[in-house]
Structure 1
Amino acid sequence: MWQFFLYYEFPPFFFNRCPSYTEPQNLTSVSEFLLMGVSDDLELQPLLFGLFLFMYLVTMLGNLLIILAVSCDSHLHTPMYFFLSNLSLADIGFTTTTIPKMILDIQTHSRVISYVGCLTQMSFFTIFGCLDSLLLTVMAYDRFVAMCEPLHYSHTMNPCLCGLLVLVSLFISFLVSQMHNLFVLQLTYFKNVEISNFFSDPSQLLNLACSDTSTNNAVMYFIGAISGFLPISGILFSYYKIISSILRVPSSGGKYKAFSTCGSHLSIVCLFYGTGLGVYFSSAVSLSPRKDVIASVVYTVVTPMLNPFMYSLRNRDIKRAMRRLLSQTI
């Protein structure tokens, strides 16, 4: 009876220490975590609130315009723009998973996230992050077929294959997310409840556990390596073939047009994978948490915001469709 009273009288943070053999297991259960956010400086909070709110609104508006332009313009009903609209949807979900929570925490001066909320955020973050990675790979394959096998492009990239590639990417993303959740659900005790980031990072949750998580860490990093290495390998192979094909084009104008077609996609790939993999594997060697936060901001906020600009400002078809859409709306 005393144990029952003790458990419900004190907050969960009172028991967020590693258990000893004399402590009952239910005394150490954690129901909340603390997200440390981007900065602890109180004077910077209004600036961060306005900055991230502006970036989130720009991200939503830009990606929604891409989706509307592709869906409303029949000239854009091609595999490349089909994948681009799905990438915009994934970017919207990827950003919405983390940024609104961070903006709300800054406004309410509260950094608490429940255990269930932490798992939910981690699950959707992994789904949309992995989906982004796989869609970038699919888009690289689409460019490979268009550049290297132009005569067979319409036959190869048929609507059934395009839809199947998106569905397979979504299924793999869901599977990777559930594997991450499975590892975290096995953790019972935590030596700390402070997550040194603005979202629920699965690798940091493993580092906060009291029990020996070396096996879980090894398996999780192996999954991350596979889910990151295979898409990167596919992208590198596709662009190796694309560049080899472009170099065989006799005219300089044709080479420039081909490179400009793939340049925006390659820029987003470098930005997304460079920062994402850097953050993912940096936790394995315990680098500075502040550097991880900055890199996390780049690939969770900046990259989804830049995607619409990278694809629209250098693409005449997208700009023409957006002008037509805006003129019809006005």
Structure 2
Amino acid sequence: MIILFATQAHRSTHRSLERHPDIDFRVMPYERLLRARRLPQATYIFSDLDRLHFWDLECVATIYRQLRDAGARVVNNPARHRSRYQLLRHLKLRSINEFNVWHADDEPPTDVYPVFLRTDSAHRGTLTDLLHTPVALRDALEEQISRGVPRREIIVVQYAAEPVREGLYRKLAAYRIGDRVIGAPCAHQETWVAKYGQRGIAPEELYEEEYKMVTDHTHADAMRPAFQHAEIEYGRADFGLFKGKNQVYEINTNPFFYGLKSHPFKIRLETFKRFEDNLVHALSEIDTPSRTTRHKLPDGRTWRAWFGDLYRSRRLSRWPRLP
């Protein structure tokens, strides 16, 4: 059995895996985990870490440590999780990425433009188009803050992308599951912000190239150091090629996984089927057989300390009832 922890609002990302006949995969909301006293024997994946409140993150890090010390297989240490800014700055310092990132109060060097704005936590894509001058950057920052975007959440990112064909951009992806890194389907889009992709927009030869990347795990060796430096054992890295080198844009610990039922090019349907097979096979390698043994979660003192902080930070009208 594999149990993936996610926030209640984003627990549907792995629904197709929960229904897959070849693997016992379940998603448990953190809201339920933080009130549980025992867990079944399983492999536990801690995902969605960037969406957790500080107190939640600290508490699930305690649960991670206790499960690990009890001999359970645990994936993604919450205490080692980095924010988007921390991750991108870390990858730059380790020469994994060529581009850099700054806080809103920093002043990027004049030779790094163009840049753009996005948030450190939210998965909402970019906040602006490309900004080519310090004046444009200052104006854009003021505009976002006046719209209500918190200054502490705004980061400045150096642009590092290039079209795969004239007027066509491609975002690449790779998953890490335990010790394996596998290729994943791409997203093709007419704009440089290639997030979700546009259906059938690429020529057939690019979909054939995508199939080969998924089948042969073309970028696996190049992407492995990024996962290792990020200390992420389960997640999806979104990256692109810039001047012939992979550039990692983010690593999502709760990636949305979906199938594809129809497409103008048959080869893309075969790509998604191959990716699904590879994903399920990689997950089966980290699976833990279900037993009657159950793991006991933190003792009463840990819960009381955490709920005390929760009570003060959220001003609950009453103490949560534990099962």
**Which structure's residues are more often helix, by fraction?**
1
Q: Computing the radius of gyration over CA atoms, which structure comes out larger, 1 or 2?
A: 1
- TM-score, L = length of structure 1: 0.26
Give TM-score, length-normalised by structure 2: 0.27
Q: Which has the higher strand share?
A: 2
